[in-house]
Each structure stands twice: as structure tokens, then as C-alpha cells.
């Protein structure tokens, strides 16, 4: 088995590696390091994020740099500021035992003259984002005309982000005889074009299969209807209480909405998208890195270059158009040998796209069923028990204890536990399989043969939620609690299901009822096969409702 020593790395680097705790080189490191150290060559390495590619080019680059000269010898281009800082940081750690080596990061959104000053002091290695570098070359703050090594990291992402022209211009300012090392997770035609135009007979190294996701990632999908995505997200989160995840949306508005809802529901979430200023994005990313935020809700562009280890879940709130984007998204998890899960929420019609992803990426994406309401509740109860057991005793409350114990003296332990449980979970009603509106995604299908479903023209505008509307219907119709279920309240109207034996009663009972000066109207819905109604049904009802006003 290869060791870092057998790859030809010098003692300073070996010392840093030992300190870092890297025990064995990864596949990309085994394949790339000797190649770059032994020969003066151009290289195309197809490797995913998380495979250890930064060290694969970083170690040889640090070893090959001439520290006696202060001239810029190595240039690393990266798609985003985050990745640029990450690479700079990684290289500085790797170079901790090397004297006289300066690595400078240059990226947009920060003070340009500060960066120029650092370059002027001498920087053998520059790590840069393309836009800022081009600007600094134009202003003659940077001289890359004598570089010996040029690394294009995440080349596909740089091209995805529209840096093609910038990269071409930058490469034109570099000498022909340099060595170019290109790293990319995928091989779109533009990457091939850059390679053809700017590299000479590059050696090629492929880690895993091109375009495949890392094997540490488990992929799965849930079929959800359009309006069930958020409930599905909450279910996934509640089943994975230690989740540290990234939720991908397609639009800024969606990221904002989802994160607001999550925050409202008590989760530590934040959105990152193009409308945030660089400073705002930085502070969100910093909170995420420090795990002050548990869920980062992101658009694809804003999330490029997110290089945070330990992400446990990627959630594709909406599927991207491009399969490559799916690769980038899921590549944010399953890093550094850890296991990750990439979850897709897809509508029935998007299942075709999932089959295509499976085929193109040569992966399995099995369908998962949303767990039953019972499983979710069980899980919540387990968490509740766990939290109670782990609670640290607050000694300030000790003096109240005798009084409290006295108050509960006549209640036996089992009943007390039952009371606590009922209080904590009072909104959950397993018999009816009905939950509050946020959890509707988990409603079980009910045998509709014995039931009828009704539309009623009262709703949230009349200050009802599903609970209070159910109470009203029960008392008004004077029927058994279990004979009415699946109450769903919209703004202007609601639905409820009822045992068929009461159908005539329902149709008759509301004939003369007025509410808020409106005649209450109840209608049988078309025989719905399942509990959920379609959006077109909702729209129709909305139109009808307007006539009621």
C-alpha cells in the first residue's frame, strides 16, 4: 500500500501530514503526486470534491516551489471566494514546516489594494478567483508572466459560472512553457476545449467513473406533490435530528421562503443566494461552518465552492435542470471518507428525470416512502425522552422541589408520565391520522369507500384551523369524534371527511346556517381516491368561492 513517503514527498511535508493526521494517501493523491513530482507535465485529473484533490496538487506544488525566489511561480484558479480561501488555508497548513513561502488569496468583494500590497511583498503562490485576478492583471498589481505551474481547480464549475472568457484571458498572460494541472469533477466540452487550447499532451487521471458521484453518497428520492415539499422537508429533518445539511432550491425566492419557514418552525436555518452582499454571504457561510446553522438553504450559484466537511444531507428541494448540477450538489456531502445522503423531492412526472440521473451517473436512486405518521411520532417521542434524560439539573430550582413533589404526591408515576406525554404531544391525534396543516404530507390514505368528503365554504378567514373547525363540526352535527377526520383548512374554504352514514345529515344540517353574514354551504366533493386533492380542484374551489362573497 502506498504511503505519503513512497510518493516522494519531502520531510517537511511528511511532518505536516503527520500533524494533520492523514494516515494514507487517497486514490487521487496516489495517482497524481508522483506524476507531478517526477515529470514536467500537463495533467487533467477527473476527481470529485472530497477526494483529497487539494492535497493532490497542493503537496507537489509546495515541494516544487523555489523558496529562494519571491517571484510568483504557482497560480491556482478557483471558482469561488469560499473555495479560494479554503485552498489558501489548506496550503498554508500543508506548508507550516516550510520557511519563506507566501501564499496569497485574491478574490472579489474584498479590498483590492490590501491584496495588491500582499502580492507586492512577494507571493510564490497566488490562489485566485478569475474575475478579481483579471482585474488585478489589468491594473498591473499582479505579474503572472513567469509562472511555472497553473492549477485550474473545479474547472467545470468555473465554466458553469461563466468564467470561460476570463480564464482564456488569464491563461494568455501566462508563459507557454508552464505546467498546467486541471482538476474537474465532470468533463463537459468546454473543459475539453480549454485543455486542447492551453495544454500540451496532458496526462489523464480519472478517479472513479467520470460523472459519477462519490461512492460514499447514498441517493434516494421521495415522490411529493408540489405543495408537499415543505412538509416532506420537515419530516426528513425530524427523522434526522442531527442533520447538518444543505437544501438546494432553484430560485432566490424559494430559498428565502424555505429558510423563513424553517426559522419560524424553530430550526437553525439560513438562506444563501445571489441577492446577499458578499459580507452577508460570508457571515452565513461562517455560521454554517461553525455549525451555528444546521440547515443552509441555497441556490446553485451561491452554493458553488461550498467546501464544508461533515455535511450529512443534501436535499434537492427541487431538481436542477442539468444532471451535472446534481453531481455538484450531491458532491457537497460524503466527503473525506464520510457517509452522506442526497435526497431528492420529486413530483410523479419528475421520476423520468431520476431514471436519467441513475443512467448517466451510474448510480442507484431508490424511491423511499415517507414514513407513516406513527413512525414520525415515535421518533419525536424518543427524542423527547432522550432530551429529558440528558437534561442537566438546574440547582437553582432545588428549593421549589419539595413543593412540586407534594403537588404530584397523589398521582402515580405512570399516570404522571402519561400526563406529561399528553401535554407535550397534545396536537397529535393518532386515531384520526390527522395532523396540523404542516404535516399533511404524512397523512395516510384512508379507505374512501365508507366515507364521503365534503367541501365547506368556511375557513381560516373565519378564524378556524383544522382543530377548531373539527370541534365546531362535531358539536354542530353531534356525531362521534372518530366519525369525522382529515379536516383541511384553507383560507376561504375547507374539506373534511365523514363516515357515509352521516352524509344525509351533513347535507341537511347546514341548509339555514349563516356565518359572518354568509350562508354556509356544504357540498360533496367528487369521489376523491385519496385524501389529498389536486391543485386544479383547489383552483376550481377558489373560483367558486369568489361567487360566494
Q: HSE, CB side, 13 Å, CA atoms: give it for residue 140.
A: 0
Nearer to ligand AMP, 162 or 337 (CB): 337
Pairing state between β 295-298 and 245-248: parallel
Contact 516, 466 (CB under 8 A): no
* Closest distance of CB 307 from ligand AMP, Å: 6
User: Which candidate, 430, 46, 345, 338, places its Cα nearest to that of 208?
Assistant: 46
Pairing state between β 295-298 and 367-368: unpaired
Nearer to ligand AMP, 20 or 419 (CB): 20
* Closest distance of CB 25 from ligand AMP, Å: 5
* Closest distance of CB 207 from ligand AMP, Å: 10
* Closest distance of CB 312 from ligand AMP, Å: 15
**Cell numbers 440547582 correspond to what residue?**
395
* Closest distance of CB 24 from ligand AMP, Å: 6
Question: Where along the sequence are the contacts to ligand AMP (CB under 6 A)?
Answer: 22, 25-26, 29, 49-55, 307, 309, 335-336
Q: SS3 of 543, please?
A: helix
* Closest distance of CB 69 from ligand AMP, Å: 27
Nearer to ligand AMP, 9 or 218 (CB): 9
C-alpha cell at 395: 440547582
Q: HSE, CB side, 13 Å, CA atoms: give it for residue 471.
A: 5
Going through 47-124 in order, the beta strands assigned E by DSSP cover: 74-77, 103-106
**Distance separating alpha carbons of residues 495 and 516, to the nearest angstrom:** 19
Nearer to ligand AMP, 8 or 371 (CB): 8
Nearer to ligand AMP, 324 or 429 (CB): 324
Nearer to ligand AMP, 82 or 429 (CB): 82
Nearer to ligand AMP, 11 or 201 (CB): 11
Cα 394 to Cα 328, 398, 399, 401: the distances in Å are 46, 7, 11, 11
Order of all β-strands in the sheet with 522-524: 484-489, 494-499, 451-456, 522-524
Contact 274, 342 (CB under 8 A): no
* Closest distance of CB 331 from ligand AMP, Å: 9
Going through 36-159 in order, the beta strands assigned E by DSSP cover: 43-46, 74-77, 103-106, 125-128, 149-152
Nearer to ligand AMP, 15 or 70 (CB): 15
Q: SS3 of 368, please?
A: strand
* Closest distance of CB 249 from ligand AMP, Å: 24
* Closest distance of CB 26 from ligand AMP, Å: 5
User: Which candidate, 490, 491, 494, places its Cα nearest to that of 506?
Assistant: 494
* Closest distance of CB 52 from ligand AMP, Å: 3
User: Which candidate, 100, 97, 89, places its Cα nearest to that of 16?
Assistant: 97
Nearer to ligand AMP, 22 or 384 (CB): 22
Nearer to ligand AMP, 49 or 72 (CB): 49
Amino acid at each position: 500500500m502506498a504511503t505519503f513517503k513512497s510518493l516522494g514527498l519531502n520531510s517537511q511535508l511528511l511532518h505536516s501530514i503527520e500533524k494533520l493526521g492523514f494516515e494514507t494517501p487517497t486514490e487521487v493523491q496516489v495517482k497524481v503526486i508522483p506524476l507531478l513530482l517526477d515529470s514536467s507535465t500537463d495533467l487533467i485529473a477527473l476527481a470529485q470534491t472530497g477526494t483529497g484533490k487539494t492535497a493532490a496538487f497542493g503537496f507537489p506544488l509546495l515541494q516544487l516551489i523555489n523558496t529562494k525566489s519571491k517571484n510568483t511561480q504557482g497560480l491556482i484558479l478557483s471558482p469561488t471566494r469560499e473555495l479560494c480561501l479554503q485552498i489558501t488555508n489548506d496550503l498554508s497548513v500543508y506548508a507550516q514546516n516550510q520557511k519563506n513561502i507566501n501564499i496569497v488569496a485574491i478574490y472579489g468583494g474584498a479590498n483590492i489594494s490590501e491584496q495588491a500590497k500582499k502580492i507586492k511583498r512577494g507571493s510564490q503562490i497566488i490562489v485566485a478567483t478569475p474575475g478579481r485576478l483579471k482585474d488585478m492583471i489589468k491594473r498591473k498589481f499582479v505579474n503572472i508572466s513567469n509562472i511555472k505551474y497553473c492549477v485550474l481547480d473545479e474547472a467545470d464549475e468555473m465554466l458553469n459560472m461563466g468564467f470561460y472568457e476570463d480564464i482564456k484571458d488569464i491563461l494568455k498572460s501566462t508563459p507557454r512553457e508552464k505546467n498546467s494541472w486541471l482538476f474537474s469533477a465532470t468533463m463537459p466540452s468546454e473543459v475539453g476545449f480549454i485543455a486542447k487550447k492551453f495544454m500540451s499532451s496532458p496526462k489523464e487521471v480519472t478517479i472513479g467513473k467520470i460523472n459519477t458521484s462519490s461512492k460514499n453518497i447514498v441517493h434516494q428520492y421521495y415522490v411529493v406533490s408540489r405543495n408537499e415539499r415543505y412538509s416532506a422537508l420537515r419530516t426528513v429533518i425530524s427523522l434526522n435530528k442531527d442533520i447538518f445539511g444543505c437544501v438546494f432550491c432553484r430560485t432566490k425566492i424559494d430559498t428565502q421562503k424555505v429558510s423563513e419557514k424553517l426559522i419560524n418552525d424553530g430550526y437553525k436555518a439560513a438562506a444563501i443566494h445571489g441577492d446577499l452582499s458578499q459580507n452577508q454571504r460570508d457571515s452565513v457561510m461562517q455560521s454554517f461552518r461553525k455549525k451555528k446553522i444546521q440547515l443552509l438553504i441555497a441556490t446553485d450559484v451561491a452554493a458553488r465552492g461550498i467546501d464544508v466537511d461533515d455535511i450529512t444531507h443534501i436535499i434537492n428541494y427541487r431538481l436542477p435542470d442539468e444532471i451535472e448540477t446534481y453531481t455538484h450538489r450531491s458532491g457537497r456531502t460524503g466527503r473525506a471518507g464520510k457517509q452522506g445522503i442526497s435526497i431528492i423531492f420529486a413530483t410523479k412526472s419528475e421520476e423520468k428525470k431520476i431514471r436519467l440521473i441513475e443512467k448517466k451517473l451510474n448510480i442507484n436512486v431508490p424511491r423511499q416512502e415517507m414514513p407513516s405518521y406513527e413512525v414520525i411520532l415515535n421518533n419525536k417521542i424518543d427524542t423527547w425522552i432522550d432530551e429529558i434524560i440528558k437534561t442537566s439539573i438546574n440547582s437553582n430550582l432545588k428549593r421549589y422541589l419539595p413543593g412540586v413533589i407534594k403537588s404530584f404526591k397523589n398521582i402515580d408515576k405512570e399516570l404522571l408520565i402519561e400526563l406529561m406525554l399528553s401535554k407535550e404531544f397534545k396536537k397529535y391525534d393518532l386515531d384520526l391520522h390527522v395532523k396540523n396543516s404542516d404535516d399533511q404530507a404524512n397523512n395516510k390514505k384512508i379507505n374512501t369507500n365508507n366515507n364521503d368528503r365534503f367541501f365547506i365554504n368556511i375557513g381560516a378567514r373565519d378564524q378556524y384551523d383544522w382543530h377548531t373547525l373539527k370541534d365546531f363540526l362535531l358539536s354542530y352535527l353531534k356525531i362521534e369524534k372518530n366519525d369525522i377526520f382529515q379536516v383541511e383548512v384553507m383560507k376561504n374554504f375547507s374539506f373534511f371527511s365523514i363516515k357515509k352514514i352521516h352524509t344525509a345529515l351533513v347535507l341537511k344540517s347546514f341548509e339555514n346556517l349563516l356565518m359572518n353574514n354568509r350562508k354556509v354551504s356544504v357540498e360533496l366533493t367528487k369521489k376523491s381516491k385519496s385524501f389529498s386533492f389536486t391543485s386544479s380542484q383547489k383552483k376550481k374551489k377558489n373560483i367558486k368561492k369568489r361567487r360566494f362573497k
